[in-house]
Structure 1
């Protein structure tokens, strides 16, 4: 007989189906039925209230539900713990709203690409993510032209604002110094000092460390001639030694490009310094270098006023009898051969002329019109004397300029 006390998993008693036969409980029991019911109850009690097979108890159903909820609930907790950062990345912005605050200096290294720059910015908390900066850079054609250097930026900037700082070269923090051709080393130090604020004494001290400066061994520790004249941009926190080393490197780079061996670099720079001092125009410089080589080959003294003026520490286009009487090894009127070192710091065209002199028989030259820089070359002494007379006539017409 079916046990009508069976209930749903939600604990509600089932209603009789429509048309079903009335339950025996709906009429009075006979004495026989009552005894049978009594015996059935006793047997049920002895079996410990076991249900028939295939019919799970209400408690068993409830246990399954509770276990399922526990499993589901635990999965939700685990998912929340591990998936929250991933979800947050999609839900939260990868960019700061800007405009940012504070200041931080960012260095863009030589050759750094967009990803490398993005990492630097993200590491310094200038931008919120590398992705934000890279996306901004993709939409800005000028981003390919970001120049290496130091930039002053803010923390937590909008990526497009950070990019706008970097694409403008005017935002690079640099110290600019312009070094003209032909200056002596002792004249260059004040130029650098004025631009950088570093005392002249520090440049003088740095110039004595030949190894740190990268001077070729043939220079014998003398920096004169190797401070390449150019327009320089020095980054913040660089030293006097850094500046001089960079200038020396510019000179040796050009010597190497011309195929000058290290052991010949000093001689080349001595000739180049003479060419720089004596010739104004680029077209004349290889010819002046040839005059130097031809006179040395003929064992003739160079007789350059520029070397004498370097020895006595003055600038000019002529010398006096007293000047030419000095016993300095730089006095090429009295001492044959090249001076013991460069007499200034030549530019690229003078260096090239010294390394590659023009072909020609000239032994003499003189600038006949110093105002215009007009220079005439001669093979014979008589030709040269005629040119010298032209120069002297110019001096007579321009008192105080010779």
Structure 2
């Protein structure tokens, strides 16, 4: 606080100070008695000296106290490092520097919260610390901890990429390969899927709902948490496509829309997906057209019934071998009972928002470029089909 001088306050007369009588021959000088002025000087000097001693002593005491307090707090307790042992430390989303410091101190990594805050303040990259798990040790120097945390390359994670169009069994094969858990661990969770967050209309079947994406799983991830994360990511895609509202507008259940999305994922790519979705809806909605008779005739669905993937074309013998399967879209009209694989964002969006058109047929005439042709004419469809056969005659490794 800055002391202010009060011009209206006058210093009082000191006790014991002699007072002139005025009529004893002493003279006044400028309204003061000269004799009194002379007699007061020694006393004033003595008083000022006494005050200086007192004030000086007070200043010494205050200064000494501040110095002692400063000695105690000017440098926070810190470890010299490099430390030892092993600590996997988690920075949670939304953590402040102070929160990190408290958690680091509790984990035995830093000596004090203050040391970590000071080190973070001194590091210009500390505001870019990302959420994740970091490899640290106990009793580290605070500045060394900050240097680890500011580098996202130090985040401990298992990165797993699950491509579009995989069945559940293929998805858990990838998860088992890329994590420390076995297929049996994931299968055990899937046997009781109630806690995964599946929608009610999935009826406990995760097929189609383990969303294909790249995931960064932390070191404490479990089979249950991984599968739950995949269903949660599906929910995001479903919300983005307004899946439930779109299904109602199209006259289908959400489960049926997911089934369409899985067929679209198996059959199309890119801009063709909304067109393929429209072909599926056209066939389902016109069972008495005398051409397709409500049959989707989608090879991918029959392959699902055959429990295999990666086959572009079917033989008649293969179709006949699973004639009674509800997934055999050559013998059973309408949609199969559920998704055949996991669709991605584009396929779900295509099923929710199909293109406008009267097409009943499509043929991918070039598997390398994914060129697909659409028509509502059976004769033109046969022409496209022959084009595909000619392609396969020279590209047998792709057909």
One fold, TM greater than 0.5? yes
SS at match of 1:225: coil
Contact 2:76–2:115 (Cα < 8 Å) also in 1: no
Are positions 1:284 and 2:278 aligned together? no
The residue that corresponds to 2:258 in the other structure is: 269
Larger radius of gyration: 1
Give me the whole-angstrom Cα distance separating, in 1, the residues matched to 2:284 and 2:224.
36
1:284 Cα deviation (Å)?
A: 0.6
Distance 1:244 1:91, change over 3 A: closer
The residue that corresponds to 1:116 in the other structure is: 99
1:106 Cα deviation (Å)?
A: 1.2
1:223 Cα deviation (Å)?
A: 0.5
What are the equivalent positions in structure 2 for 1:214-229 lying under 5 Å apart?
214-229=197-212
The residue that corresponds to 2:16 in the other structure is: none
The residue that corresponds to 2:295 in the other structure is: 301
Deviations 1:240-271 (A, max 9, x none): 11111110110111102222229843222211
Q: 1:319 aligns with which of 295, 314, 319?
A: 314
Contact 1:304–1:333 (Cα < 8 Å) also in 2: yes
Deviations 1:59-95 (A, max 9, x none): xxxxxxxxxxxxxxxxx9xxxxx99995663265433
The residue that corresponds to 2:357 in the other structure is: 360
Q: Taking structure 1 as the reference length, what is the TM-score of the superposition?
A: 0.76
Contact 2:76–2:114 (Cα < 8 Å) also in 1: no
What are the equivalent positions in structure 2 for 1:47-196 lying under 5 Å apart?
86=69, 89-90=72-73, 93-196=76-179
Distance 1:141 1:90, change over 3 A: closer
Distance 1:126 1:199, change over 3 A: same
SS at match of 1:106: strand
SS at match of 2:230: helix
Give the CA RMSD over aligned residues.
Answer: 2.2
Give me the whole-angstrom Cα distance separating, in 1, the residues matched to 2:241 and 2:273.
16
Give me the whole-angstrom Cα distance separating, in 1, the residues matched to 2:101 and 2:72.
18
1:192 Cα deviation (Å)?
A: 0.4
Give me the whole-angstrom Cα distance separating, in 2, the residues matched to 1:252 and 1:383.
40
What are the equivalent positions in structure 2 for 1:359-378 lying under 5 Å apart?
359-378=356-375
1:310 Cα deviation (Å)?
A: 0.8
1:394 Cα deviation (Å)?
A: 1.1
Q: Taking structure 2 as the reference length, what is the TM-score of the superposition?
A: 0.76
Q: 1:344 aligns with which of 336, 341, 344?
A: 341
Give me the whole-angstrom Cα distance separating, in 1, the residues matched to 2:119 and 2:96.
14
Are positions 1:204 and 2:177 aligned together? no
Give me the whole-angstrom Cα distance separating, in 2, the residues matched to 1:384 and 1:197.
49
Contact 1:189–1:200 (Cα < 8 Å) also in 2: yes
Contact 2:258–2:348 (Cα < 8 Å) also in 1: yes
Count of residue correspondences = 322
SS at match of 1:261: helix
Q: 2:379 aligns with which of 378, 382, 386?
A: 382
Contact 1:255–1:265 (Cα < 8 Å) also in 2: no
The residue that corresponds to 2:54 in the other structure is: none
Give me the whole-angstrom Cα distance separating, in 2, the residues matched to 1:186 and 1:85.
69
Deviations 1:162-212 (A, max 9, x none): 001111112122112111110111111111001112110111111122221
Q: Which 4+ stretches in 1 moved above 4 angstroms?
A: 82-88
Are positions 1:392 and 2:375 aligned together? no
1:303 Cα deviation (Å)?
A: 0.6
Give me the whole-angstrom Cα distance separating, in 1, the residues matched to 2:396 and 2:153.
47
